[in-house]
């Protein structure tokens, strides 16, 4: 495969973080040199906690601009990776950092189990649950200990599930749920790609819409929304998850 590349990722933060972790782990174990950059706004989006975690492992990730932010240079490790000590990440920062590590570390096929420890309370827990569920479908059974420790088993390897359904984005669907609640007075507005089986935290917007008066029916991978009570009723809601 390619061992040297300069990759421009635009403003795709969700690509930058897991890709940084995956390339850092691969470069450490197989060699290679990679540069990751993006638009100016990307270079203002923090990635320091993820790189700190990769440094704990022994990966060689260097700042090409401001410390804590892209652009980054990833190169071969300068010494053997430290897979025995727990890798520590703060729970109060983006869950994408933890998800990036969970996705990347199995690429090492470490002969011993590897542990990630979360410092403080883990925010965005539903998104980490998505990652753990997805890894299980690809043959990686992560042991979750009270959402504070994540143990990646020894000698694990990715296995193809054959086929997989990729959900639509529940956050984006929420706008159309609202549209149906306000304006679908004849036929229901049908939204495909998310539904009753969704594992995204933002699917809870369906419950909020119902509480406000919308009429929502759910299929496994679709929603149908029509105006119910109108005007809609005000509610109070904890939106943490």
Whole-Å CA distances, 223 to 182, 185, 205:
15, 16, 12
Identify the pLDDT of residue 234.
97
- DSSP-derived letter for residue 43 is G
Q: Give this prediction's pTM.
A: 0.84
The tens digit of pLDDT for each residue in 5-44 reads 999 999 998 899 999 999 999 999 999 999 999 999 999 9
- Longest Cα–Cα distance in the chain: 66
In this model, does residue 56 exceed pLDDT 90? Answer: yes
Backbone angles phi, psi at 181, to 5 degrees: -65, -30
Environment class of residue 33 by beta-carbon count within 10 Å: exposed (0-12), middle (13-18) or buried (19+)?
A: middle
Confidence of residue 126 (pLDDT cuts 50, 70, 90): confident
Contact 85, 112 (CB under 8 A): no
3 versus 1: which is more confidently predicted?
3
């Amino acid at each position: 495969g390619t061992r040297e590349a300069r990759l421009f990722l635009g403003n795709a933060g969700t690509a930058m973080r897991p890709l940084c972790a995956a390339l850092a782990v691969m470069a450490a174990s197989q060699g290679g040199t990679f540069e990751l950059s993006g638009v100016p706004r990307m270079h203002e989006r923090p990635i320091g906690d993820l790189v700190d975690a990769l440094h704990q492992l022994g990966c060689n990730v260097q700042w090409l601009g401001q410390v804590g932010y892209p652009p980054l240079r990833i190169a071969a490790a300068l010494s053997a990776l430290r897979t025995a000590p727990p890798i520590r990440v703060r729970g109060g920062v983006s869950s994408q950092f933890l998800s990036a590590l969970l996705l990347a570390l199995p690429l090492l096929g470490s002969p011993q189990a590897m542990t990630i420890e979360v410092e403080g309370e883990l925010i965005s827990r539903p998104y980490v649950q998505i990652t753990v569920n997805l890894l299980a479908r690809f043959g990686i059974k992560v042991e979750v200990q009270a959402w504070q420790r994540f143990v990646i088993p020894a000698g694990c390897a990715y296995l193809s599930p054959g086929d997989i359904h990729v959900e639509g984005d529940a956050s984006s669907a929420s706008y159309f749920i609202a549209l149906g609640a306000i304006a679908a007075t004849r036929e229901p507005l049908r939204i495909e790609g998310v539904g009753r089986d969704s594992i995204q935290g933002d699917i809870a917007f369906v419950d909020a819409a119902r509480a406000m008066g919308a009429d929502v029916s759910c299929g496994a991978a679709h929603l149908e929304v029509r105006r119910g009570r109108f005007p809609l009723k005000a509610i109070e809601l904890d939106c943490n998850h």
